[in-house]
Structure 1
Amino acid sequence: MKLRFKNLDALFEYVLFFGTILVLWTPNSYSYILPQGFYGLFRWFQYLVAICPAALVIVKKKVNLMYVLNCVFCIILMFSTVIYHGHIHKCLNYVAPLIGTVSLIVLCIGSGREKELLLVFRYVLTAYILINIATYFLFPNGLYTTPKVIRLDDKPNTFLGNRNAYKFYGLMLILFSYLEESLKKKQKRVNYNMIAALGLSLLMEVLGESLTGSIIITAIALYYFFGDRIKTIRKIDPRILYFAASGIVAFSLIFLAVGQYTGLLAMAFGENITFSHRTFIWVAAEEVIMKHPVLGIGSQATDVTFVFLQNVNCHDQYLEVALRGGFVALGMFMFIVWTGMNKLSEYKKSPIVPFFAVCIFAAMVIDMVECETYSYAFLSYFTAMAYSWRYSSLYAEKRVGRKKKLVLRLT
């Protein structure tokens, strides 16, 4: 009887995790096609679900610095929106997935439920990617097309209405599949889940015609299969990777700010949309940011952003954060990433750290040409994992324990 009751508890836990993640992420993908009333109810349910894990982190006393920083980041975005008379409801659309997912990560890892959480993440992310790939082949002109979708997107063959939103999940699937296998006592010689994650992610990037994403996923795949032979990379401190990515970001933004040289990128890369069209969006975004440098223009409706940029977003995560929340929000965003990388450096001898740090570095690079349009959450998910990762905490505690035993023997 006890075994059956435990199984029911485990089943309920998995169902709860699945439901929470689906509600946090799904509503943003169907804003164009759901009836307004039903979509509104779905949104309010999303907000409620986001509050629950955030409240449980406090009640269960699992609060850490990463949780606090993400809460502050969300408050900055909401304050900016209110100041500039934006739509606070639209801001919640961005904030809810961020705070809800980060809280769920912190809560589960702090409570020893990381295995269950990673398993659910892997299934959900795999399903999203498979849906993306299926819609590309089944609906070449898009699963649905409306004048608004065509106006706001650069191509009609949209994945569930937004071609870029799910593309980020490939990198998340790769990292979470890797971490899930690393926690197993008996690791398989061949991690089929990891191979599937790499293959599906690369296929989705290629179908989405993402030059940057395809190159980065390929590089990560090569590092995964041959990384043990590259001792130099494995010994790099995660903080060095952070500074390297930050330097590339700073140089690119200054280069774009000059403006007159952006045409060189278009000439060098031909008709590739990453550099032939988005350079003009980046320059336009910088102009708006310099007019509202402190708090940005707030998380206003997509139509408002389209007026400023002639596009739905900045196609650059850093510019997007600065546009929505000014340099205050951008500084907080970069500090969140730094906190995760700095935490990884504290237990850099742990075998999971090199690949973990490389994934965050890759995320920082790809964020220079892409933007998660609905939550700003991508790097926060990664850094929340890095900061509160229980496996590495136990690794650090084990080292401390050895020192204590040595002292006891000497006395």
Structure 2
Amino acid sequence: AEVLINLNASPFHRGKHKERWQVLADRATEQKMPIIYVNQVGGQDELVFDGGSFAVNEDGQLATVAPDFTEGSFEMALERTVRGLQIEQGIAAAALSDVAAVWQALVLGVRDYVEKNGFPGVVLGLSGGIDSAVTLAVAVDALGAERVHAVMMPFKYTADMSIEDAGEQAAAMAVEYDIISIEPIYEAFMAGLSAQFEGLSADTTEENLQARCRGVLLMSISNKKHRLVLTTGNKSELAVGYSTLYGDMAGGFDALKDCPKMLVYALAQYRNTLGYCIPQRVIDRPPSAELAPDQTDQDNLPPYEKLDEIIERYVEDDQSPEQIVAAGFSQNDVERVVRLIDLNEYKRRQAPVGVRITTRGFGRDRRYPISWAWRKS
């Protein structure tokens, strides 16, 4: 053989380009011949194939690089030299930044999931928070504003700024937008459950009921209008169970399922560089589920900077709690986070499918038992 052609369906994850280039460069120098690497483009459930086909010469140097996340036909010329066939320098598509590549993966993943499953559009809850704001922007970039319906579902704990910011973003992105209060629905549920709850103190049951009222609304709109419900949870929340089954987890696809919280902030900042659409106040304010007065995520969780790294080390890097503590994290934080990850496998089994952008996402990449009777209390 004088040239190798490598046909691939290689799914995207962060940093994958460098891995591919290094592997092909090593093989080219080892075999002393050029290699043409051709990769698929498109979304298939949680996997996104990012294209980025390229060619390397026998010295391992890149000769041609096609654009990422773009279908197309690209020509390259081969020249016979004293060293054998050589690929002439061709197109050299600019490399995407890490955050830009993730954004393109999310957009392509949402677009192809919606298109390939025949949905006319999507509906999602727009809370005025960062996760739903980024999900809305991804949906509009993927499908166009005319196919996206955003619904704000306030309750007595919803801050005025949340309603204002949700409305501002919906207007900026020109999507269909409605405000539907969950208060009458919630009160009807509470009235129906009053005999069951008599004499019992309020707890997270009432908080979860708020989320489930919103889930009922979105799923009803979905059923009636045949639109796919996009959920808006991120990897950090999914890891520690900071979500409600049959509430904010109710839906058909989760664009941010494999995105840790700090990456969600970076995605919001990146999207605003393409055209302002996410109010800065949404990015700057402390995250909150707004299910109780003056509630913030950090009331019950470590700071997201720490939480995300503990999750990455435990879930993606297979580090033990002892190894994570040795890396400088508090033993209390590590033990608590690891325990939450293990305990909430049952929730993740019922989570919607979503785009995978890391080396190990929850779902098919990480299969752990739900029942752990043998684990330490």
TM-score by length of 1: 0.23
Structure with bigger strand share is 2
User: Which structure is richer in relative contact order (CA contacts within 8 A, separation 6 or more)?
Assistant: 1
Larger radius of gyration: 2
More helix by share: 1
